[in-house]
Structure 1
Amino acid sequence: MAKTPRLSGSAKQSLLRSGFGSMVLEGASGITTSPVWSKVAKAQAAANDRILVIVELSGGNDGLNTVIPFADDVYYGARPNLGIKKDKLLRIDDHFGFQKSMLGFERLYKDGLMGLVHGVGYDQPSFSHFSSMAFWQTGAPNSGEAYGWLGRMADAIDPLGHTTNFLVNIDDSQSLAVRAMNHVPLVFNNPDTFTRHMFDEEKSAFSAIDRRDSNGSGNASQDFLFDIAASAKSSEQLVRDAWTDYETPIDYGLVPFGLEKVAALVAADFPTKVYYVPYRNNAFDTHVYQGDLHSRLWSYTSDHIAAFVRDMERLGRSDDVVVMVFSEFGRRVAENTSLGTDHGTAGPVFVIGKPVIGGRYGAVPSLTDLDDGNLKFTTDYRRIYSTLIQGWMGHDHADGILKQQFNPIPMFGSRG
């Protein structure tokens, strides 16, 4: 039997960059990992059932009006109009509280299911949404890194790409965070319309691809593209079936932004290890009349995430799922003249789930020792990435993924 030639990783990426991947699911916003990389089923990455869900809050969430330092009078001095009064918040201890709209988060924190990390940021911060988000998504600030930190993690855990759909991105377009060398993320937003789009003239060609001999043609590049097409056809149907079959009594809130779709795939036993879900459209960019808007945003976000955690419990998967919630930067300490806040630096990050040892982590940034009106970060965000890579996903060489050593935060311990 003739031996089928293999494509190198660079050859695969060259084909995908040339546009051959996107033609498979044009209009569906994504493609799945090809069966070329899935011959050995459930290999390294299937060694455990752990799932990591990343929630991105685009726009730069105001951390000081999320985790409110009500015991610090400097906070109220800097925010005479926007400061959340002590009788208008949900106290989580003697110093901090949440917005009154964050009942879901209050419950998660008080039930010990949330690790709240203070002062998260990075050195030489960017105040650009695009640049700072790219730094968070790559885990490599000011570097021009081509692949995302989650994509590099997928490549490190499963270097041959054996695990089908290791990465799923719930969005209209692929995030840099999940860009990988050996894994092609499955990207979709609406499961009901997740299908291949084609012109009438292309239908006969796609039908021929779907009917082709599974033994291959002997042409590695052609087989790679044909296998992407076959895998795309299979995955689009699996996603639609999972969504159609999914039923839950859990209320996902007024503005569900994607975690209900993650729950549907988890319920359908998708092999996915990483889900990336943004709250889109720069919603948290609250420069003007922030008060009511920010409160509503956190009502939606808090309810939605808390519902997802409850749904994982209902499905019997609460021991297997951890959620990280972040934003590309925080806001300045002082309110602006438009009753909003402007782009700042450090902010809180939340790590949520039954496996998490709940509580507050990291040093609280000073509200008086500032850098041109901005908080000085106290926790490098890559420490959280190292914690998730090593403490949760079980990969011992986070430094290889993050390009340097960052000490993990002990929020998993014996539970991890």
Structure 2
Amino acid sequence: RSMDIWHTAEPTKVGNEGWLGNAINQMYPKHDNVVAAVNFSSALPRALVAHGAPVASVTDLDTYGLMSHMGESQQRNDALQAFKDMYAQAIGSGPVMDYLSQTGLDALRGAEILGTVTENYSSNVEYASNGFAKAMKGAAQVLQADIGTRICYTQHGSYDAHTNGIALQEGLLTDACGGIYDFYQDMKQANKGDDVLMFVFTEFGRRVRDNGNGTDHGSGGVAFMIGDAVEGGHYSEYPSLNPEDLIEGDLAFNLDFRSLYTEILEDWLEIEAKPVTKGTYEKVGFLK
């Protein structure tokens, strides 16, 4: 449930659309940017889900695309053209077929565009050989290609440690910090450090009291904003760990996560926040 709240910005009911998906639709109401958002994972997170919002999900940019195993052959080109003709001919035959056809055409266009981003990429940053680092490198490649992508999204999992928490976190945090640092250096070297804002958050918190050598699900957490446009510092109050200040064993949060969303939406993406957050929330002030 906590993940749903973070992804939909709907804490009081179960939402159907993601906050970033709604943001994409506001930025591109005609849905004409098929690479507005790129998700580096095989599964589409709910944060990016919204009716009509174009999002490409990528696991490997080097092999991304339809029938990429065939290479640049005439057979592949003929097959792709057949797909385009099939989708194009179905448009106008009804709302369901219109939606399916447009989705198919958008997927083809997105695959064609994303298939070119690695060609001119050049960097001396050496990313680690793990899945998160690969995703961060992919994000750098997409953003440096200037194809119109506004949002890149990825996940780094396995933090749900009910046992052996300390030992697991050392490796996990090493991978997370390494991927973030390498991405930041990569963008800086490409003179794009001012163009990127990284938002790092946990989808649910942990209980304050351990259960032996791990922790159970809880509420309250932390988020990080990283980039040259960020005014560094610690925002909001550090939560009390005193037992009498906890809420049923959880940290008492003192900053609504929709305040973060509001500042990102209005001051970074330059769109109206209220239709996404369903309310008005005071900005944190982390952007310069």
TM-score (norm 2): 0.86
- Tell which has more relative contact order, 1 or 2 (C-alpha 8 A, sep 6+): 1
User: Among residues 4, 9, 12, which one is paired with 1:142 in the alignment?
Assistant: 12
Amino acid at match of 1:357: E
Amino acid at match of 1:304: G
Amino acid at match of 1:262: A
User: Among residues 132, 155, 167, which one is paired with 1:292 in the alignment?
Assistant: 167
CA distance in 2: counterparts of 1:213 and 1:189, whole angstroms: 25
User: Among residues 191, 194, 199, which one is paired with 1:316 in the alignment?
Assistant: 191
Given that 1:156 and 1:401 are in contact with CA atoms closer than 8 Å, whether structure 2 keeps it comes out as: no
CA distance in 2: counterparts of 1:383 and 1:226, whole angstroms: 38
Corresponding residue for residue 383 of structure 1: 259
Corresponding residue for residue 370 of structure 1: 246
Matched, 1:271 2:145: no
Identity of aligned residues (%): 28
CA distance in 1: counterparts of 2:209 and 2:58, whole angstroms: 39
Given that 2:54 and 2:106 are in contact with CA atoms closer than 8 Å, whether structure 1 keeps it comes out as: no
Corresponding residue for residue 354 of structure 1: 228
CA distance in 1: counterparts of 2:211 and 2:91, whole angstroms: 64
User: Tell me, what secondary structure is at the counterpart of 2:265?
Assistant: helix
Amino acid at match of 2:276: I
Matched, 1:340 2:214: yes
Label 1:159 to 1:371 Cα distance change in 2 as closer, same or farther (>3 A). Answer: same
Aligned-pair distance for 1:308?
Answer: 0.6
Given that 1:169 and 1:275 are in contact with CA atoms closer than 8 Å, whether structure 2 keeps it comes out as: yes
CA distance in 1: counterparts of 2:140 and 2:87, whole angstroms: 35
Amino acid at match of 1:340: G
Amino acid at match of 1:295: E
Given that 1:256 and 1:304 are in contact with CA atoms closer than 8 Å, whether structure 2 keeps it comes out as: no
CA distance in 2: counterparts of 1:227 and 1:182, whole angstroms: 10
Aligned-pair distance for 1:206?
Answer: 6.1
User: Among residues 101, 109, 118, which one is paired with 1:234 in the alignment?
Assistant: 109
Aligned-pair distance for 1:351?
Answer: 0.5
CA offset digits 1:339-394 (Å, max 9, x no partner)? 11111211110011000101000111111111122111111111111111112212
Any residues of structure 2 matched to 1:11-410 within 5 Å, and which?
131-196=1-66, 207-211=81-85, 218-219=92-93, 221=95, 222=97, 225-257=100-132, 258-280=135-157, 283-337=158-212, 339-368=213-242, 369-395=245-271, 397-410=272-285
CA distance in 2: counterparts of 1:403 and 1:217, whole angstroms: 34
CA offset digits 1:95-145 (Å, max 9, x no partner)? xxxxxxxxxxxxxxxxxxxxxxxxxxxxxxxxxxxx111111111123111
Corresponding residue for residue 32 of structure 1: none
Any unmatched runs of 5+ in structure 2? 68-76
Further displaced range: 212-221 or 310-319 = 212-221
Of structures 1 and 2, the larger Rg is shown by 1
CA offset digits 1:62-86 (Å, max 9, x no partner)? xxxxxxxxxxxxxxxxxxxxxxxxx
User: Tell me, what secondary structure is at the counterpart of 2:118?
Assistant: helix
Further displaced range: 383-392 or 219-228 = 219-228
Give the paired residue count. 275
Amino acid at match of 1:136: W
Corresponding residue for residue 20 of structure 1: none
Given that 1:148 and 1:178 are in contact with CA atoms closer than 8 Å, whether structure 2 keeps it comes out as: yes
Given that 1:171 and 1:189 are in contact with CA atoms closer than 8 Å, whether structure 2 keeps it comes out as: yes
Label 1:370 to 1:241 Cα distance change in 2 as closer, same or farther (>3 A). Answer: same
Bigger fraction of residues in helix: 2
CA distance in 2: counterparts of 1:205 and 1:255, whole angstroms: 34
Matched, 1:411 2:286: yes
Given that 1:170 and 1:189 are in contact with CA atoms closer than 8 Å, whether structure 2 keeps it comes out as: yes
Label 1:315 to 1:276 Cα distance change in 2 as closer, same or farther (>3 A). Answer: same
Amino acid at match of 2:22: R
User: Tell me, what secondary structure is at the counterpart of 1:379?
Assistant: coil
Aligned-pair distance for 1:164?
Answer: 2.9
CA distance in 2: counterparts of 1:167 and 1:392, whole angstroms: 15
Any unmatched runs of 5+ in structure 1? 1-130, 198-202
CA distance in 1: counterparts of 2:164 and 2:89, whole angstroms: 62
Amino acid at match of 1:325: V
